[in-house]
Structure 1
């Protein structure tokens, strides 16, 4: 390994002699990422400029894509023989462990069938439930629980609004905040197998719902932005976030929410372009005026009872919550797909 920048004692041409595992060094992640990138680029991959963890290789009608997290790699492609050749090449270089079809990745469980792919975090939810049976003794219990719930948002958009609200009190939580967090855990206990379903056959129309709740924070009077994005019938992106500045009117709040939505849509369109999915990609969503004039989006009015983004900005009653939730592509794997 080459000496790090700023180290002046090494003579020209000298390298570091490792005395312990590379994983024990602060420089490890950077060196490993550099080695991986060099290897993939030499093999003919292109690193996405919109997501640096994504590598794509396109040759005629052959397509390969890699998603890298540290030393874990997900591989997909249009031809099985291309995937096998790549895995053999990586094994020659690094001695990899081939786990076959992905079933578990970074806490997310995957199940697939001819109908589509299902993502959920049932085991992760059961671990959370098992660790929250004791009363609050210090703030670290609350902080740990909120951190785990935030990671759970990866496959559970129904938690987004609640977790956003609870995360505001991690510095000085009290018993009422803990009780509210346990209420979320009890909700999870009733549906630990619920996750996202992605049908194998679906159109490629991109549609987004955007909403805002004006002055919802009683302390700062800042508003909430909420949105969700669908590709065909599959939910692919969602968010609840407090706006950075105080808005003087509801119109200003809505405009800021629309701006956040268009930024997300633009990023998704860039990723779709990297994945060779732009030939049939249409946009149908709520967005700001200049994007409408540029022809990037199509504006349509959505009535309140059909506004799916409400679930990301408001504390809804049971009936409204479950009505909107039924439209977010969430399915219970253990109870069967409907």
Structure 2
């Protein structure tokens, strides 16, 4: 956007920068091995170290409300420097004036920053020194996505490395690729048996946890850079509570499709002909009432 590559920012130890809420007091016991002098005990007014507790001043990782208080601190900080929180996406902030615009995307403590000029982006890092925001330079990887700034003024985004890690984790790195993510699967005897809760010794068979982990990876991939597996991935997750071997075959088919297409990229750039209408082309194919549950034609991809 605007011919300027986005920068990546990170807030180290973000949660611990947020203060506790005044209406809730959190007390901590002294850890074993911590020595408290008798002078300190006398000044506080206690006789034994085990009677001493600490009042928590800043948030610790692991507390249930840590994430909320950190996000609240970040939002307050951005609002103080005249940023506006987007109504449709609360994780997006923007600042616009007569000199240009700055846009910030937030994911917990990772930030993506872009703007109409390089100076505006650099000024943002200066303004955010109060939270010790680190400038990690031009974004190259964000949330498992590889991001490449192109000479044409756009981005190429892919998750090839993430796909390879998923395949390796589930023993599918050497699987044969297929051309479609979902197709009609022939049901054979034994396919309707539920997957095991735990792996059986000497027999490497997929378990329910294996299935849930695999289809969960599909949801993340489809949400980020692979919308082409959205339907197939969501269809597989419908069976997560009680998956069968047939469901696992569907999940494995999606993984094989990803292996053959792991190099696909999303290319995001400014539309070169703003005066012309955007032309969208789609292709579809379908079966005829093959779904045994609701008879919807769903076997082919779109």
Instruction: Give the TM-score, by structure 1 length.
Output: 0.58
The equivalent residue for 1:53 is: 91
In structure 2, the partner of 1:239 is none
Counterpart position of 1:182: 252
Give the strand-richer structure, 1 or 2: 1
Matches within 5 A, 1:24-39: 24-39=62-77
Give, in angstroms, the shift of residue 149 of structure 1.
0.7
Alpha-carbon distance change, 212 to 28 in structure 1, aligned in 2, over 3 angstroms: farther
1:101 alignment partner in structure 2: 138
TM-score (norm 2): 0.64
2: CA distance between counterparts of 1:150 and 1:185? Answer: 12
Displacement of 1:117 after TM fit? 0.9
Return the alpha-carbon distance in structure 1 between the equivalents of residues 26 and 134 of structure 2.
38
- Say if 1:6 and 1:38 are closer, same or farther in 2 by CA, change over 3 A: closer
Q: Deviations over 1:134-176 (max 9, x none)?
A: 7533200000000001111021122122112211111111222
Matches within 5 A, 1:284-299: none
Distance 1:30 1:208 in 2: 40
Confirm or deny: 8 A CA contact 1:117 1:200 kept in the other structure: no
Of the candidates 205, 208, 215, which is equivalent to residue 136 of structure 1?
205
| Contact 1:132–1:182, Cα closer than 8 Å, also in 2 | no
Q: Could you say if the C-alpha distance between residues 8 and 66 of structure 1 is closer, same or farther in structure 2, counting changes exceeding 3 Å?
A: closer
- The alpha carbon displacement at 1:54 in A equals 0.8
Query: CA distance change for structure 1 residues 212 and 164 in 2, over 3 Å: closer, same or farther?
Result: farther
Q: Provide the residue aligned with 1:158 in structure 2.
A: 228
Higher helix content, 1 or 2? 1
Distance 2:290 2:84 in 1: 44
State the match for 1:148 in structure 2: 217
Task: Please tell me the root mean square deviation across aligned C-alpha atoms, in Å.
Answer: 3.1
Unaligned runs of 5+ in 1: 10-15, 224-312, 325-338
DSSP 3-state at the match of 1:22: coil
After TM superposition, give the deviation of residue 113 of structure 1 in Å: 1.0
Larger relative contact order (Cα-Cα within 8 Å, sequence gap ≥ 6): 2
Q: Distance in 2 between matches of 1:183 and 1:161?
A: 13
Structure 2 unmatched runs, 5+: 1-18, 28-53, 173-203
Give the conservation status (yes or no) of the 8 Å contact 1:118–1:198.
Answer: yes
- Indicate how the Cα distance of structure 1 residues 3 and 112 shifts in structure 2: closer, same or farther if over 3 A, else same: closer
Q: Give the drift of 1:131.
A: 1.3
Shift of 1:49: 1.0
